[in-house]
Amino acid sequence: MKVAVVGATGMVGEVMLKVLAERNFPVTELLVVASERSVGKKLSFQGKEYTLIGLETAVAAKPDIAIFSAGGDTSMEWAPKFAAVGTTVIDNSSAWRMDPTKKLVVPEINASELTKEDKIIANPNCSTIQMVLALSSLHKKYKMKRVVVSTYQSVSGTGVKAVQQLENEIAGIKGEMAYPYPIGKNALPHCDVFLDNGYTKEEMKLAKEPQKIFNDNSFSVTATAVRIPTAGGHSESVNVEFENDFEISEVRRLLSETPGIVVQDNTDTNTYPMPIYAHGKDDVFVGRIRRDETQANTLNMWIVADNLRKGAATNAVQIAEYLVQNQLV
């Protein structure tokens, strides 16, 4: 199994390599791929040293799987070139997510839709992944009508410059700004760029991607995405209106039986999900499960996950695992 990691030196790329090692993914030959300025540098994987190569060299090597985390422009240009030589691309950017010819996959929900013909597979947005995983079993049982989500997203979702900005501010150092304002002791209602409708791209990803993943346009999602000064882990306040009523005990049971979900929900012991506990874990944590007392058939939840792991790297590796297990590559 020849595997290429494209964008291997980035924040997500580094976590992808870590996750491949932790999950003992059957890599027989690893290609670590980066931008031209990094070509020739070294990085280590499972105790071995690898030399970074460029995209053209990687395409020529015809890997079985290429996991991309190198930005939308790189994916748009290079994913089809890999696909043309028979490589199956799993792309972590937003480039292909809403392309009607490409699958948008969270393995626990819709991996069964994948076939050998799917040569470019899209990894959803980090905030989308944790939300849909928590909603999947509830949607099946009670049928969602409307979801209102507010996110509390870590600076790691922006990238290494944003993490550096936060660290600089904590240390009292003046440095390069990833955001238009300070992020320490602050909250920015501004994730990604603003669109003509007044929403950001991040908010519209949360609105559109769940419908594609569930292959269902019968429900709607409205979002407000906020950047907060946490180093890692995204949190979400989710209010979901169902067509059918529910019992809270049954909601907890359904969630606890959902693969990849951990319920942390005991107000007596102050047990609830927090990014500090989600750090470095692959699970999605759900708590503060309670009925919305202002409206029928409506539920409130608090959902937390490590955005670099299940929100990006782990989900992509799980897609690769499914492809291998089902002989689709």
Catalytic machinery residues: 126, 234
37 is in an annotated binding site: yes
Residues 6+ apart with CB under 8 A from 329: 1, 64, 65, 88, 116, 323
97 is in an annotated binding site: yes
92 is in an annotated binding site: no
Query: What dihedral do alpha carbons 288, 293, 296, 299 form, nearest 10°?
Result: -10
12 is in an annotated binding site: yes
For residues 289 and 320, is the Cβ–Cβ distance under 8 A?
no
153 is in an annotated binding site: yes
Residues 6+ apart with CB under 8 A from 117: none
Burial class (CB in 10 A: 0-12, 13-18, 19+), 195: exposed
Side-chain-side CA neighbours of 6 within 13 Å: the count stands at 30
38 is in an annotated binding site: yes
244 is in an annotated binding site: no
CA distances 218 to 55, 138, 267, Å, are 41, 15, 34
286 is in an annotated binding site: no
Task: Report which residue type is found at 18.
Answer: K
For residues 161 and 234, is the Cβ–Cβ distance under 8 A?
no
123 is in an annotated binding site: no
11 is in an annotated binding site: yes
157 is in an annotated binding site: yes
Give the integer Cα–Cα distance in Å for 66 and 60.
12
44 is in an annotated binding site: no
Q: Which residues are annotated as a binding site for phosphate?
A: 97
Q: Which residues are annotated as a binding site for substrate?
A: 153, 227
Q: Which residues are annotated as a binding site?
A: 9-12, 37-38, 97, 153, 156-157, 227, 307
Q: Which residues are annotated as a binding site for NADP(+)?
A: 9-12, 37-38, 156-157, 307
